């Protein structure tokens, strides 16, 4: 449900405006209208700074702060600037190491040698020349014929040097390479030096990570000051800029607090109840069960102020769909137990998520019990004597296939009822007549089709006399009363268009719910496959057999739980947002209620 | 050729193509999600939902196999194996292209969200359209299985 809002306009003398805003920020209940304003350069700079702090905080989350006490007093800006410098230096050292490693790879075959000796020899007219040729091409007789020495053989190449005093003819097979500019050890030492520097940088970054509370505090102050600035610039200047007019919204339950504050401050104000066509901010208020599903509503869009909040309407269906898709009683019990245990030591922010997991686990247990699936074991196929008598209670795959579409049909009809209710509330009962007509048409067709098959003796068949009367009345509403106030031809044309949309849309929507069956089936079968693998592949050795079975079961069911849970969370979300919201006539686009308050 | 071989060819086509389609589809969208995460790291939940949409076609192939598995016996008739082959071709090819295209739609939506456009809801709706045909094919496989 959407909390009703009261719209306020405050008229404040310009000299008292800042102090009024500070007190309003302390009160923290008014959502200030910030429409029709542009972000100026100063705000952009503050936003950039806040983003820099966020990036730094995110980076520090991956570090282990050093245990040294903070003795150096640094403010957030100093920490961020120093972090930037260290990160740049780190990047430079990383690049230098990469370059040195490349150079090391070139000179490694030549091993360690003294460059100065090479130069001394060169001064005496003895040149050392360097060659590298494939092993297959190397002729060992060359060792006798020429003054060469093999330095190393690696990667299929022979690296050798020739002592050239100036008068040696070398064969064409000798492939000369560039003289190494430095020895292996020189490069290795260089790399170690860089690594040492990087170590120091890392230690300093860990030291900076212990300033994360300082950065958080500065970030919060910046956010508060930005909010203050934005709100301040949202005010309209009137009466030669001496009166500031500010507009905002307050939820009805908190209205009295604001009124008391305004009376105390002797502020002139105008208040009125928010009208449906106002773009009032949305504050959701639901019961304990539906509240758990509000994060799903947030994922899509808040409702408009004029329409109904669909959270309590889709919540039970979502739970049902999860159970259908996950459909394993063993996995469900696991979820409930784990969530219950963690709830005892969880923080307040995590507890709602764990409660949601408990409910979803219960749904999985119910559907697992209905289909007879426990940790991938199909009880409907069991040969265990004690359980054989219960086999007939479990629903078979055909029933589940049709059930998935039946549940979809129920949700679609329910959505259309919600749409009718929305139209009644927003525009009046006349505008909901056509939707109610569709509900009667579809519901009666389904009921009569089922009755005709299941209880033929009643004589109530689809398109029988009674049914025809009902759909005749519904048809009149659909074709001739879909646009109240417009002429009958317009209504008829719109009715035809609605019928076409319904015929094509409804079939696709109902068939979409087959995914519930597909997901449930595949999860169950995969669980069974892992069971077969575990018991089939285990060796016939006393202890090894049990270990292998347990390992395969743990890994297999772990993977299956993860993949099934992911699918079971995502696809009901998709069914809610597409099929249910579409049939419920959800428009959305509402803005969340964000009161102007001091953040801690 | 024995009829059972023909039937299994159809099953193989159904499973292979639908699985490949889903694998490619979720990969295309997943690659886009990784790129978009660099710009919008907080929107991972939305990216994950969109990335996983193309995964259902592989499940439909698996479900289709399951619907037809009871006919895969040595005494299968030519009529039955022809029906299974036809069902396999239908679901296999439709699921393949449906998943590929759905993955591309989701990838484009994810990229747009990474660039700051609020198109999660619209992408979700547009991604439904290619999947509808895979669902219709699965329904056709089911109807074929009930008629055998």
Per DSSP, the residues of A549-598 read: HHHHHHHHHHHHHHHHHHHHHHHHHHHIIIIIHHHTT----BPBP-----
In chain A, what are the domain boundaries? 5-64+213-273, 113-182, 294-406+514-585, 428-512
A588 close contact with B: CB closer than 8 A = yes
Residue A156 zone, left/alpha/beta (φ > 0; ψ -120 to 50; rest): left
| Strands in A94-204 per DSSP E | 127-134, 148-154, 157-164, 176-177
- Nearest CA of chain B to the CA of A22: how many Å? 31
Residue of A nearest to B65 (CA): A522
The pair of three-digit structure tokens given for residue B124, joined into one six-digit string: 């979700």
**B105 has pLDDT over 70:** yes
pLDDT in tens, B43-102: 888 898 899 889 889 988 988 998 898 899 888 899 999 999 999 999 999 999 999 999
Residue of B nearest to A587 (CA): B121
pLDDT of residue A390: 64
Cβ pairs A/B, distance under 8 A: 68
Q: Cα A210 to chain center, whole Å?
A: 29
A511 close contact with B: CB closer than 8 A = yes
Angle among Cα A31, A35, A36 to the nearest 5 degrees reads 155
A397 close contact with B: CB closer than 8 A = yes
B134 contacts B55 by C-beta, under 8 angstroms: no
Does B135 sit within 8 Å of A578, measured CB to CB?
A: no
Mean pLDDT of chain A: 86
- Nearest CA of chain A to the CA of B1: how many Å? 30
Q: Which residues of chain B make contact with A574, given a CB cutoff of 8 A? A: 49, 53, 124
**A95 has pLDDT over 90:** yes
pLDDT in tens, A269-279: 999 998 888 88
Q: Which residues of chain A make contact with B142, given a CB cutoff of 8 A? A: 401
B140 contacts B90 by C-beta, under 8 angstroms: yes
Based on DSSP, count helices (H) and strands (E) in chain A, helices before strands.
Answer: 21, 11
Report phi then psi at A408, rounded to 5.
-65, -45
In chain B, what are the domain boundaries? 3-147
The pair of three-digit structure tokens given for residue A225, joined into one six-digit string: 């000051």
A59 close contact with B: CB closer than 8 A = no
CA distances from residue A370 to A246, A284, A382 in whole angstroms, order as listed: 59, 35, 15
Strands A148-154 and A127-134: unpaired
The pair of three-digit structure tokens given for residue A50, joined into one six-digit string: 């806040």
Residues 6+ apart with CB under 8 A from B38: B114
DSSP code, position A108: G
Count of residues making up chain A: 600
Report phi then psi at B134, rounded to 5.
-65, -40
Question: Which residues, listed in sequence order, are joined to residue A153 by a DSSP beta bridge?
Answer: A158
Among the partner residues A515, A525, A588, nearest to B56 by beta-carbon distance? A515
A543 contacts A437 by C-beta, under 8 angstroms: no
Angle among Cα A436, A439, A445 to the nearest 5 degrees reads 140
pLDDT of residue A266: 81
Report phi then psi at A481, rounded to 5.
-135, 35
Among the partner residues A511, A566, A582, nearest to B139 by beta-carbon distance? A511
A409 close contact with B: CB closer than 8 A = no
Of A446, A448, A474, A445, the C-alpha closest to A459 is A448
pLDDT of residue A117: 86
**B144 has pLDDT over 80:** yes
Relative orientation angle of helices B78-114 and B56-68, to the nearest 10 degrees: 170
Residue A127: Cβ within 10 Å count: 15
pLDDT in tens, A449-485: 888 877 777 777 777 788 888 888 888 888 877 777 7
A164 contacts A127 by C-beta, under 8 angstroms: yes
A435 vs A16: CA distance, rounded Å: 54
Mutate to test the interface with A, among B59, B98, B142, B148 (most CBs of A within 10 A): B59
**A167 has pLDDT over 80:** no
pLDDT of residue A382: 66
Q: Which residues of chain A make contact with B62, given a CB cutoff of 8 A? A: 518, 521-522, 525
Tell me the mean pLDDT in the region A142-151.
87
Question: Which range scores top for mean pLDDT: A473-482, A498-507, B2-11?
Answer: B2-11
pLDDT in tens, A358-376: 999 999 999 998 888 888 8
Tell me the mean pLDDT in the region A266-292.
89
pLDDT of residue A398: 79
pLDDT of residue A388: 63
Question: Which range scores top for mean pLDDT: A107-111, A531-535, A538-542, B77-81?
Answer: B77-81
Q: Which residues of chain B make contact with A577, given a CB cutoff of 8 A? A: 121, 124
Of A375, A338, A368, the C-alpha closest to A354 is A338
Angle among Cα A270, A272, A275 to the nearest 5 degrees reads 140
Residue A239 zone, left/alpha/beta (φ > 0; ψ -120 to 50; rest): left
pTM reported for the whole predicted model: 0.78
Better-scored residue on pLDDT, B108 or A566: B108
Among the partner residues B52, B63, B138, nearest to A522 by beta-carbon distance? B63
The end-to-end CA distance of chain B, in Å, is: 21
Angle among Cα A58, A62, A68 to the nearest 5 degrees reads 105
Residue of B nearest to A515 (CA): B56
Among the partner residues B121, B124, B139, nearest to A514 by beta-carbon distance? B139
Q: Which residues of chain B make contact with A517, given a CB cutoff of 8 A? A: 63
pLDDT of residue A249: 93
Residues 6+ apart with CB under 8 A from A200: none
Q: Is A52 helix (H, G, I), strand (E, B) or coil?
A: helix
Residues 6+ apart with CB under 8 A from A49: A222
| Strands in A252-354 per DSSP E | 268-273
Does B135 sit within 8 Å of A515, measured CB to CB?
A: yes
B100 contacts B27 by C-beta, under 8 angstroms: no
Upper half-sphere CA count for residue A132 (Cβ side, 13 Å) = 16
- Domain B3-147 adopts which CATH fold? 1.20.120
pLDDT of residue A200: 92
pLDDT in tens, A491-501: 888 888 888 88
Q: What value of ipTM does the predicted structure carry?
A: 0.78
Count of residues making up chain B: 148
Tell me the mean pLDDT in the region A327-344.
92
Better-scored residue on pLDDT, A386 or B116: B116
B83 vs B62: CA distance, rounded Å: 17
Contacts 24+ apart (CB under 8 A), A41-44: A42/A229, A43/A226, A43/A229, A43/A230
**Could you tell me what percent of chain B has a pLDDT over 70?**
100
**A383 has pLDDT over 70:** no
**Could you tell me what percent of chain A has a pLDDT over 90?**
24
Q: Cα A143 to chain center, whole Å?
A: 68
**A330 has pLDDT over 70:** yes
Mutate to test the interface with A, among B18, B33, B56 (most CBs of A within 10 A): B56
DSSP code, position A65: -
Residues 6+ apart with CB under 8 A from A151: A109, A110, A111, A159, A160, A161
pLDDT category of residue A391 using cuts at 50, 70 and 90: low
């Amino acid at each position: 449900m959407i909390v009703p809002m009261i719209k306020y306009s405050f008229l404040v003398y310009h000299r008292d405006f800042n102090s009024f805003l500070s007190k309003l920020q302390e009160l923290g209940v008014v959502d200030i209208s910030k429409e029709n304003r542009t972000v100026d350069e100063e705000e952009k700079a503050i936003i950039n700074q806040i983003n820099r702090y966020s990036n730094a905080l995110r980076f520090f989350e991956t570090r282990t702060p050093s245990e040294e006490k903070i003795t150096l007093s640094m403010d957030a800006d100093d920490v961020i600037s120093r972090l930037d410098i260290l990160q740049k230096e780190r990047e430079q050292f990383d690049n230098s190491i990469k370059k040195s490693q490349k150079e090391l790879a070139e000179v490694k075959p030549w091993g360690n040698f003294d460059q100065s000796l090479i130069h001394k020899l060169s001064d005496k007219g003895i040149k050392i020349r360097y060659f590298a040729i494939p092993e297959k091409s190397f002729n060992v007789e060359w060792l006798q014929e020429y003054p060469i020495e093999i330095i190393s053989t690696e990667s299929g190449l022979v690296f050798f040097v020739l002592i050239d005093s100036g008068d040696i003819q070398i064969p064409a097979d000798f492939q000369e390479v560039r003289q190494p500019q430095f020895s292996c050890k020189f490069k290795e030492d260089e790399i170690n030096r860089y690594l040492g520097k990087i170590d120091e940088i890392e230690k300093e970054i860990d030291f900076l990570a212990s300033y994360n509370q300082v950065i958080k505090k500065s970030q919060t102050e910046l956010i508060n000051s930005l909010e203050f600035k934005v709100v301040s610039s949202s005010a309209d200047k009137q009466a030669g800029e001496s009166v500031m007019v500010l507009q905002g919204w307050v939820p009805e339950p908190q209205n009295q607090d604001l009124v008391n504050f305004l009376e105390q401050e002797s502020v002139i104000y105008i208040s009125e109840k928010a009208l449906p066509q106002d773009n009032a901010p949305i504050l959701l208020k639901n019961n304990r069960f539906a509240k758990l599903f509000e994060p799903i509503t947030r994922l899509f869009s808040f409702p408009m102020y004029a329409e109904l909040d669909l959270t309590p309407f889709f919540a039970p269906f979502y739970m049902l769909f999860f159970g259908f898709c996950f459909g394993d009683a063993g996995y469900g019990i696991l979820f409930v137990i784990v969530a219950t245990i963690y709830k005892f030591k969880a923080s307040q922010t995590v507890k709602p998520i764990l409660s949601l997991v408990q409910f979803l686990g219960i749904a999985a247990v119910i559907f697992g019990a209905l289909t007879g699936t426990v940790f991938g074991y199909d009880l409907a196929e069991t040969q265990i004597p004690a359980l054989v008598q219960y086999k007939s209670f479990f629903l078979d795959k055909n029933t589940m296939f049709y059930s998935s579409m039946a549940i979809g049909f129920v949700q679609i009809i329910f959505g259309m009822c919600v749409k009718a209710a929305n139209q009644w509330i927003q525009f009046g009962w006349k505008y909901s007549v056509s939707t109610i007509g569709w509900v009667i048409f579809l519901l009666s067709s389904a009921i009569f089709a089922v009755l005709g098959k299941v209880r033929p003796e009643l004589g109530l068949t689809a398109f029988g006399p009674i049914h025809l009367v009902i759909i005749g009345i519904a048809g009149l509403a659909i074709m001739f009363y879909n646009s109240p106030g417009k002429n009958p031809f317009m209504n008829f044309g719109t009715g035809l268009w609605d019928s076409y949309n319904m015929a094509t849309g409804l079939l696709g929507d109902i068939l979409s719910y087959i995914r519930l069956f597909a997901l449930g089936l595949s999860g169950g079968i995969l669980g069974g496959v892992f069971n077969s693998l575990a018991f089939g592949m285990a060796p016939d050795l006393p202890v090894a057999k049990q270990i292998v079975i347990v390992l395969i079961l743990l890994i297999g069911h772990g993977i299956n739980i993860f993949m099934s849970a992911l699918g079971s969370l995502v696809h009901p979300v998709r069914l809610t947002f597409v099929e249910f919201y579409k049939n419920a006539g959800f428009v959305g686009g509402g803005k969340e209620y964000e009161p102007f308050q001091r953040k801690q | 050729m024995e009829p059972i071989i023909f039937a299994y060819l159809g099953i193989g086509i159904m499973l292979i193509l639908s699985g490949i389609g889903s694998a490619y589809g979720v990969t295309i969208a997943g690659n886009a999600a990784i790129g978009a995460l660099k710009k919008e790291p907080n929107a991972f939940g939305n990216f994950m939902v969109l990335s996983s949409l193309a995964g259902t076609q592989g499940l439909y192939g698996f479900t289709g196999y399951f619907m037809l598995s009871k006919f895969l016996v040595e005494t299968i008739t030519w009529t039955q194996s022809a029906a299974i082959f036809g069902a396999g071709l239908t679901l296999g090819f439709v699921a393949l292209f449906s998943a590929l295209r759905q993955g591309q739609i989701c990838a484009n939506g994810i990229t747009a969200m990474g660039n700051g456009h609020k198109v999660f809801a619209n992408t979700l709706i547009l991604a439904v359209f290619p999947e509808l045909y895979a669902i219709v094919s699965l329904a056709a496989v089911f109807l074929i299985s009930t008629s055998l």
